[in-house]
Chains A and B, each alone.
Chain A
Amino acid sequence: MFIKPRFRLVPDGTRIKFMRGRYLGLITSAILSTASVILFFYPGLNLGIDFSGGVVMEVRTDGPADFAQIHAALAAAHVPDQGLQRFGDASEVLIRLGAQPTEAATQAAVAQVRDALEKGVPGTRIERTDAVGASVSAELFRNGLLALGISLLMILVYIWFRFEWQFAVGAVVTLVLDITKAIGFLALTRIEFDLVMVAAILTILGYSTNDKVVVYDRVRENLRKYKSMPLRELIDLSINETLNRTLGTSMTVFLASLPLALFGGESISGFAWVMLFGIVVGTSSSIFIAAPILLFLGEHRLRRDAAAPVPAKAPPAKATTAPRT
């Protein structure tokens, strides 16, 4: 156990013809992503208060929570609650209030709930209060999207810089497909989409790129090594050679995220589930999406580039530069 490896994830020297399933992979991915886009519009994302604005209060009652009593107390104080929800154990309740027209109204609502509970449900403790005004939620949303957009752009530029444009486009298209699926997952599971989810998606982005780079790196290396091998075979070979790496690196992150989903508590487990989903999607897309896209984009060009630095029909300027050594 301490010296020799016990198992291999995949036996060495596999010769799986992944590129044979390239249409199947792409079609499946396209269907899933289209479905996700539909889910994004209907029923839409369950926006958390970071982005929707409003009030969320987590309260703990003495003994099991009596929903009717809490409802009555809130109704008596004319608090327009949007719903009570069990959260964690039986004595914990989440009170949700929709976005209020003004910042002052948001704060007034917090005070109202507080007073109503004090009067109507004695012994309640407010464990958490999140109140986000409309201007802040709009800003957080804009910044979240900016972070995602700029990250994608930077990844595109970085891979373009380090590889060839075909690799960059392949990676970014795949990443966009990955992200849409993660968003579909969020819409389907009704996990709240908040700032932490943006963090999750960005992590998936970084992580998934990680995975793609491993495969791409090998393709780049093999392009130099096997000058005459057809690109299709070469990509298959590269995927097979790196299969243990792709799966191994995914396993480690998967194993690290799993306890978070199981024991991390209500507020972070959503994050972890999205991570787990993203890891699975990201790993499979490295093999079934990113590689086929590279095959389509690079069928003739990559090979010719490697052979002759300046082809007659000049593709975009960057592509004409010789691969880095």
Chain B
Amino acid sequence: MMYFSRMKTTIILAVCLLGVLLGVPNLFPAPASWVPWRTVHLGLDLRGGSYLLLEVDMKAVIKERLDSLMDGVRQDLRNAQIFYQSLDAQPDQNRIVLRLRDAAKTEDAVAALRPLISPDPNTGQPDMSLGSNPDGTITLTLSPTALSRRASGAVEQSIEIIRRRIDETGVVDPQITRQGESRIVVQLPGVGDPDRIKQLIGKTAHMTFRLVDETANPNGGGVPPPGDDYLVLQDRPGEKIAVRKRIDVDGADLTDARAGTSPETGDWVVNFTFNSVGARRFADVSRANVNHRFAIVLDDKVISAPVIREAITGGRGQISGNFTPDSANDLAVLLRAGALPAPLTVVEQRSVGPELGAASIRAGAISLAAGFVFVIAFMGIFYGLFGWFANLALVVNLFLVLGIMSLLQATLTLPGMAGILLTLGMAVDANVLINERIREEQKLGRPPLQALEHGFTRAYSTIFDSNATAFLAHVMLFVFGSGPVRGFAVTITVGIATSLFTAWMLTRLLVSRWYVANRPKLLPV
């Protein structure tokens, strides 16, 4: 037990050296840019920044799918000359239900609707099921796998669009990742006040160009005529405008959008360019509707509804609508980045300003230093030489924790700093157990070498058992915890692992070397 082969000694010392080398970059700035200088990542609570947890509105995703399905049903039935009494979406059951006027045509209707079903690209399973009743009721139910694939696609697409939007704001190094089924985590280092970003993320930015129904009377109350929507004006929320449901040109066909000022009025406007499809449609619609009003709708609000003066054929256009420089710019950013597939809501926000972060680092560092001194003094006073061996191992342990965390690129949070401190306290516990055991064995009358042997061997199972349970508890904390608390769990689990190594290997090596060099008659424990 107290014998170390040259090989083993080398390995232990090499691990310690490696740990120190990996830990050192955290203490000093990089001497030169070519030196690999990996440090622990500081959590947002320490460096300042914002954490936003976003939830993708899956109901909207389903509803949109059902809406487009209903469009398909309408069209197919119209082509097949089959008439229906009612056609309803039931988003809660992921289906649409329609009732035919003539129950005898059920078979024909099912045959007409069958082409709407398409196979899943991965499994080949149909993406919906078509059911019919002899009384003329037909249901189309989306399959759960197809829905979850769509939902997953919506989240991925949202991440991409959020990234584009945030990139426009100049935030350095934003991290946008998926979490679970329908959530997205956005981390913004250095952004203490994420208000502008929340505004950018919070808009679906689905822009459509639709004709205004000039015959309807939207402000007289009542329900809109079929085929129309009553939408509010962005600038005058009290006023409504009747807009055709039919989308003439979609914002997805935009290739560019820039904020600028109008040469005539000097007002802020957004200039946009369509792709070829959009340009052609825009030209067609504008040509056919000269002197009619055309609404530019963003997220179910009408930004403006100008009268078409002449056919617009160049594929370029301009939106004006009482913009400020900022709002024009934001709209341009949103249009360039594209529309989100579904609305997003911020369900959790944690923002810390840089000042507070720096204060936390300071407080953490002071506590760490004080705790370190306390523990070292305690071990030195109560265990003498063997305590100092433990203290040396403790220093190495600290470097190992930092080194491993740098290597893993783990995140150090404020609770994580508390975790390091606790690790310091717990790491020497193993040495307390070993030293007490050696002392006991010596009291029993064993000669020094034997006392050392027994001390280390017998303390081992206690050390292992007591650390194993603590280790398990913190792994659970990592699994179930979130945010800074996970940082705590990481430092503690890493700390427990490294302290087992330093207490068990390094102090034993130190003690054995010391014993060989001195051959004392009595151990100073």
Cβ of B462: which chain A residues have Cβ within 8 Å of it? 213-214, 217
Contact of A209 among B369, B414, B424, B466 (CB under 8 A): B466
- Let me know if B388 and A2 touch, CB within 8 A: yes
Q: Is residue B379 within 8 Å, beta carbon to beta carbon, of the partner chain? A: yes
Cβ of B429: which chain A residues have Cβ within 8 Å of it? 210, 248-249, 252-253
Q: Is residue A121 within 8 Å, beta carbon to beta carbon, of the partner chain? A: no
| Binary flags per residue of B458-500, CB closer than 8 Å to A gives 1, else 0 | 1001100111111111101101111111001100100000000
Q: Is residue B278 within 8 Å, beta carbon to beta carbon, of the partner chain? A: no
Q: Is residue A318 within 8 Å, beta carbon to beta carbon, of the partner chain? A: no
Which chain A residue lies CB-closest to B462? Answer: A217
Which chain B residue lies CB-closest to A253? Answer: B425
- Minimum CB–CB distance from A54 to chain B (whole Å) comes to 11
Which chain A residue lies CB-closest to B483? Answer: A195
Which chain A residue lies CB-closest to B350? Answer: A130
Cβ of A140: which chain B residues have Cβ within 8 Å of it? 482
Q: Is residue A146 within 8 Å, beta carbon to beta carbon, of the partner chain? A: yes
Contact of A158 among B352, B469, B480, B525 (CB under 8 A): B469
- Let me know if A195 and B422 touch, CB within 8 A: no
Q: Which residues of B174-215 are within 8 A (CB) of A?
A: 192-193, 195, 198, 202
Q: Is residue A14 within 8 Å, beta carbon to beta carbon, of the partner chain? A: no
- Minimum CB–CB distance from A281 to chain B (whole Å) comes to 16
Which chain B residue lies CB-closest to A129? Answer: B351
Distance of A203 Cα from B471 Cα, bound (Å): 10
Distance of A211 Cα from B428 Cα, bound (Å): 14
Cβ of B421: which chain A residues have Cβ within 8 Å of it? 256-257, 259-260
Cβ of A248: which chain B residues have Cβ within 8 Å of it? 382, 429, 432, 436
Cβ of B501: which chain A residues have Cβ within 8 Å of it? none
Q: Is residue B126 within 8 Å, beta carbon to beta carbon, of the partner chain? A: no
- Let me know if A158 and B347 touch, CB within 8 A: no
Q: Is residue A74 within 8 Å, beta carbon to beta carbon, of the partner chain? A: no
Classify the interface of chain B: helix, strand, loop or mixed. helix
Q: Is residue A272 within 8 Å, beta carbon to beta carbon, of the partner chain? A: yes
Q: Which residues of A126-145 are within 8 A (CB) of B?
A: 126-133, 135-136, 140, 143-144
Q: Is residue B381 within 8 Å, beta carbon to beta carbon, of the partner chain? A: yes
Q: Is residue B378 within 8 Å, beta carbon to beta carbon, of the partner chain? A: yes
- Let me know if A210 and B425 touch, CB within 8 A: no
Cβ of B387: which chain A residues have Cβ within 8 Å of it? 5
Interface-side segment among B249-257, B262-270, B330-338, B355-363: B355-363
Q: Which residues of B367-383 are within 8 A (CB) of A?
A: 367-371, 374-375, 378-383
| Binary flags per residue of A266-305, CB closer than 8 Å to B gives 1, else 0 | 0110011001000000000000000000000000000000
- Let me know if A132 and B433 touch, CB within 8 A: no
A135-B347 contact given A3-B384, A126-B192, CB 8 Å threshold: yes
Q: Is residue A96 within 8 Å, beta carbon to beta carbon, of the partner chain? A: no
Distance of A147 Cα from B478 Cα, bound (Å): 9
Classify the interface of chain A: helix, strand, loop or mixed. helix
Cβ of B461: which chain A residues have Cβ within 8 Å of it? 217
A210-B382 contact given A146-B480, A147-B480, A256-B421, CB 8 Å threshold: no
- Let me know if B378 and A252 touch, CB within 8 A: yes
- Let me know if A151 and B352 touch, CB within 8 A: no
Q: Is residue B345 within 8 Å, beta carbon to beta carbon, of the partner chain? A: yes
Contact of B374 among A159, A214, A255 (CB under 8 A): A255
A147-B470 contact given A2-B388, A4-B524, A129-B349, CB 8 Å threshold: no
Contact of B477 among A58, A199, A252, A265 (CB under 8 A): A199
Distance of A3 Cα from B518 Cα, bound (Å): 13
Which chain A residue lies CB-closest to B436? Answer: A245
Which chain B residue lies CB-closest to A194? Answer: B485
- Let me know if B349 and A131 touch, CB within 8 A: yes
- Let me know if A127 and B367 touch, CB within 8 A: no
Distance of A244 Cα from B439 Cα, bound (Å): 11
- Let me know if B345 and A268 touch, CB within 8 A: no
Q: Is residue A313 within 8 Å, beta carbon to beta carbon, of the partner chain? A: no
A127-B356 contact given A6-B384, A135-B347, A252-B429, CB 8 Å threshold: yes
Q: Is residue A110 within 8 Å, beta carbon to beta carbon, of the partner chain? A: yes
- Let me know if A259 and B371 touch, CB within 8 A: yes
Q: Which residues of A1-59 are within 8 A (CB) of B?
A: 1-9, 12, 58
Residues in chain B within 8 A of chain A (CB atoms)? 53, 55, 192-193, 195, 198, 202, 345-353, 355-356, 359-360, 363-364, 366-371, 374-375, 378-388, 414-415, 417-418, 421-422, 424-426, 428-429, 432-433, 436, 440, 443, 458, 461-462, 465-474, 476-477, 479-485, 488-489, 492, 524-525
Across the A-B interface, give the 5 residue pairs with the lowest CB-CB distance, nearest first: A206-B470, A256-B425, A259-B370, A253-B425, A265-B363
Q: List 14 A-B contacts (CB under 8 A).
A: A7-B382, A107-B346, A130-B349, A133-B348, A155-B472, A199-B415, A207-B426, A214-B433, A221-B458, A256-B371, A259-B371, A262-B370, A265-B359, A265-B414
Given A211-B466, A248-B429, A259-B369, 15 other A-B contacts at CB below 8 A?
A: A2-B380, A2-B384, A125-B353, A127-B192, A140-B482, A144-B480, A195-B481, A203-B470, A209-B473, A217-B461, A221-B458, A255-B378, A259-B367, A264-B418, A275-B422
